[in-house]
């Protein structure tokens, strides 16, 4: 069964009604592929700029936020982690 958030996006894109209805398994396959690419982009974002000496952890905060974003995308769309 298709994740309800993927289904909602497919409905908004008008892929699930009308003459050119796309089968669920194709929508889901495409959506998972697209979601994994978005996750990959988030996971590859890395802060490499200057970190102020009073904290020094800015890069780690930034990198953690990028990883959390990737995890949130996977959770929202029900895509397995990994």
What mean pLDDT is predicted for residues 20-46? 84
pTM of the full structure: 0.65
Tell me the per-residue pLDDT of 3-17, one tens digit each, with 9 for 90 and over: 888 888 888 888 877
Tell me the per-residue pLDDT of 41-52, one tens digit each, with 9 for 90 and over: 888 877 766 666
- For every residue of 7-66, DSSP letters joined together read HHHHHHTT-SSSTTPPPHHHHHHHHHHHHHHHHHHHHH----S---TTT--HHHHHHHHH
Beta carbons of 51 and 59 less than 8 angstroms apart: yes
Residue 24 reports pLDDT greater than 80: yes
Residue 63 reports pLDDT greater than 60: yes
Residue 53 reports pLDDT greater than 80: no
């Amino acid at each position: 069964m298709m994740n309800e958030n993927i289904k909602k996006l497919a409905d908004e894109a008008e892929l699930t009604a009308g003459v050119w209805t796309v089968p669920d398994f194709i929508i889901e396959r495409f959506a998972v592929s697209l979601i994994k690419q978005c996750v990959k982009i988030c996971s590859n974002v890395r802060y490499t700029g200057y970190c102020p000496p009073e904290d020094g952890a800015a890069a780690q905060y930034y990198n953690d936020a990028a990883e959390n974003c990737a995890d949130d995308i996977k959770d929202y769309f029900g895509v397995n982690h990994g």
